[in-house]
Chains A and B, each alone.
Chain A
Amino acid sequence: MITIEDVSKIYGTMVAVDHVSMSLEPNSITVIVGTSGSGKSTLLRMINRLIPPTSGRILINGLDTASLPATELRRRIGYAIQGHGLFPHYTVADNIATVPNLLGWPKARIAGRVEELLTLFHLPPETFAHKYPHQLSGGQQQRVGVARALAAEPELLLMDEPFGALDPVIRAKAQDDLLDIQRRFGTSIVLVTHDMDEAFHLGHRIAVMKQGKLVDFGSPTTILTEPKDPFTSQLTGTLDRSLKLMSLKQLADFAVPGDTIGAETLPATLSLRDALAEFVWRGLKVASVVDSDGRQLGQITLDALLAQGRRP
């Protein structure tokens, strides 16, 4: 549980972060969005004290972060940045082992953890452990960057535009991997991005920042349907808000019993937005919803689908 209490950051006469207060729920992903210069990165960096706040307090599980030495605080918090920031003179294994080494873990425990993370990120240890970062593709470097941030089993992971340097295909894959890992470890994640689609895809809660102020904070659905600030609707874009709303819902939750013999099938894990695209593409009126083993869960009609994108 992270509590940000009335935190400000002032550079000379420029107010970068202006009296921000918010509580972040544990074991969830909070995405901070905003245009460049909105103070979102500054706010993130104040959590691990890369930037000291001018005023206000940040508490992690009730403990004031200012009461710990900065290096000790940072070793407890995972940190992943755009362009990964891997050490070019360290092998992949040594990069991942950075924080465990700083914490003085025993060698065997470090080796085990490195192997576990490499496997988890689909980088077979026997192939990748001894490579240098410049021998990897952009997507692989980024995965090593996230693995390194998670190495010391932090409860909290901070990510600053972690997928910004990736091409769209690899980015989508990286986002799904992150969701998997978050579900598996229950890590609390605070992620900064200017990409609204990324925010809606990843965020359990979305914080909107504008000129240093927190102008909106809530679940993706709330942000979309009940924006507290005109800037929120500007960011989320009003043109495709119905589609954004549908992208937040999963087909599995809307399948109803019905006679679907002969109907075309759609996987239950599809978002309603992607399901709609399939309806349009295949010219469907009704589809059968099936799980990953092909078992039928029910059906969904075009009308029922469209109703879910309508203004609440």
Chain B
Amino acid sequence: MKGGALLFRAVLAGCLGVLILAPELFIGLFRWLNRPDAPPIYPYDSLLWLTVSHLGLVLIATSAGAIVAIAAAIFVTRPSGAEFLPLSRVLTNTGQTFPPVAVLALAVPAVGFGVAPTLIALFLYGLLPIFENSVAGLQRVPEQITEAADGMGMTAGQRLRKVDLPLALPLIVEGIKIAMVINIGTATIGSTVAAKGLGEVIIAGLLSDNMAFILHGGLIVGLMAVLFYDLMGYFENFLKRRLGLTGSGD
């Protein structure tokens, strides 16, 4: 079972690599999907460059979202910030409820076309899962453990760094994982406002009725999301095992 799962992952990662670096290997499949006169492989930009740019957007926006969301979660779980918890919940929920297309439509007049409106939309989209998970993680540190930390004379900052954050880390990582996966998919719409990304391939396919482009772009985005989810999940489980939260693992 374990070997099988590993093999499956290796196959997926291999497919992703071929789709990005050597799509010609699939040219037969793509040609078969298309009208004979249409190009089977996106010719206007390097797929590697589009993928790097796509992931770059996601990483920058999610990192910024993570910094803000974790800082806010720390603040509202301290005694001095507790009264801001409901307000922060409303704000991050709004960020999530707002359709990303609407964020783009509103952001373009303000910051112009290109990377900026996409980053704003992705940033807002990443806030909620990271914030909620970080709050849950920090609130769930067992009372016995925080009492022991206080009783031994840790300052508030020492307790946060040495105890609260390390113990909340698996849940925080899970929040980042969810935000990342959502954003890998959502970033495709950035291409409508001229941010470089894999959405470009999909949108070009939709505009010119080119099924090969749509499938090609969609597969790369989908595989990246799945593999990323898997990788982060692995990291999360590693952290949980270290804390002795699952099974009896050594």
Contact = CB atoms under 8 A, between A and B. Distances in A.
Interface stretch (B7-15, B75-83, B143-151): B143-151
Contacts of A82: 144
Given A81-B144, A85-B145, A89-B167, A48 B151 contact: yes
Which of A48, A85, A132 has its CB near the most chain B CB atoms (within 10 A)?
Answer: A85
Given A72-B153, A102-B153, A50 B147 contact: yes
A77 to B, nearest CB: 8
Contact of B243 (A73, A76, A88): A88
Interface string A81-97: 11111111100000000
Interface in B162-221: 162-163, 166-167
A4 interface: no
B158 interface: yes
B152 interface: yes
A44 to B, nearest CB: 10
A71 interface: yes
Nearest to B158: A102
Contacts of A99: 152-153
B242 A89 contact: yes
Contacts of B243: 88-89, 134
A133 B152 CA distance: 18
A74 B245 CA distance: 29
Main secondary structure, interface of B, reads helix
A134 B250 CA distance: 9
B154 A102 contact: yes
Nearest to A94: B162
Contact of B167 (A74, A84, A88): A88
Contacts of A133: 244
B153 A74 contact: yes
Contact of B151 (A79, A86, A135): A79
A134 B147 CA distance: 19
Contacts of A86: 145, 148
Nearest to A75: B153
A166 to B, nearest CB: 15
B151 A71 contact: no
B238 to A, nearest CB: 12
Contacts of B153: 70-76, 99, 102
Given A102-B152, A102-B154, A102-B158, A81 B147 contact: yes
A89 B149 CA distance: 13
A88 B244 CA distance: 7
Contacts of B162: 87
Give the bracket for the number of chain A residues in contact with chain B: 20 to 34
Nearest to B151: A79
Contact of A81 (B148, B154, B158, B166): B148
A296 interface: no
Contacts of B46: none
A134 B244 contact: yes
A85 B242 CA distance: 17
A304 B150 CA distance: 52
A88 B166 CA distance: 10
Contacts of A211: none
Contacts of A79: 148, 151-152
B70 to A, nearest CB: 18
A131 to B, nearest CB: 9
A50 B159 CA distance: 14
A85 B142 CA distance: 9
A50 B154 CA distance: 12
A75 B244 contact: no
Contacts of A76: 153
A74 B244 contact: no
Nearest to B149: A87
Contacts of A70: 153
A72 B250 CA distance: 36
B6 to A, nearest CB: 27
Contacts of B145: 85-88
A81 B242 CA distance: 23
A74 B152 contact: yes
Interface string B239-250: 000111100101
Contacts of A308: none
Given A73-B153, A99-B152, A85 B244 contact: no
A75 B242 contact: no
Given A102-B153, A134-B243, A135-B244, 6 more contacts: A81-B147, A85-B145, A89-B242, A89-B243, A102-B152, A134-B244
Interface of A: 48, 50, 70-76, 79, 81-89, 98-99, 102, 132-135, 148, 158
